[in-house]
Amino acid sequence: MSDSFATHLLSLTTGRTETVTDLTGDCEQFLTRAAEGRDGLLNIFVPHATAGIAILETGAGSDDDLLAALKDLLPADDRWRHRHGHPGHGRDHVLPALVPPHATLPVIGGRLELGTWQSVCLVDTNRSNTDRQVRLSFMGGAGEA
């Protein structure tokens, strides 16, 4: 059995407000094509200095709670040494230390193995950069020869 690798780049527009964007459907669509029923790993990576990937429940308030917690932990004020961009933008550059720019998740039988209420989310607090990319990469067995 040899290993296989497939990758896809998502392009998103997040808007001018802080957002949590659910990427679970995009991940599942990618795995339908890339994994073809195989076991492996899905890596989700956002190549931006001011965004991260989180695994959390969405739609029941947890996404808003996360943004509220980040506002408490990283206030958008003038305390930051990184000063270009909108006021408080330095906080956006600290975000990836708390919400990492990547996640690696198990894929079993071509399906993403998430818990019942878990979703894969892009967390973006940078109001100045609305264009985002997320790289999805599947690494898995090539199947039986």
Domain boundaries, the chain: 3-141
Contact, 112 vs 22, CB < 8 A?
no
Bridge partners for 62 per DSSP:
none
Residues 18-70: tens digit of each pLDDT: 999 999 999 999 999 999 999 999 999 999 999 999 999 998 999 999 999 99
List, in order, residues 6 or more apart from 68 with CB less than 8 Å away: none
Residues 65-103: tens digit of each pLDDT: 999 999 999 998 888 888 787 778 889 999 999 999 999
Which pLDDT score, from 0 to 100, does residue 15 have? 81
Give 3-state DSSP helix, strand, coil % of the chain, rounded to 5. 20, 35, 40
Q: What is the pTM of this model?
A: 0.92
Cα–Cα distance for residue pair 43/83, rounded to 1 Å: 32
Cα–Cα distance for residue pair 129/85, rounded to 1 Å: 10
SS3 52: strand
Cα–Cα distance for residue pair 49/79, rounded to 1 Å: 19
Question: What stretch of H or E contains 29?
Answer: helix 24-34
Domain 3-141 has CATH 2.60.120.260: no
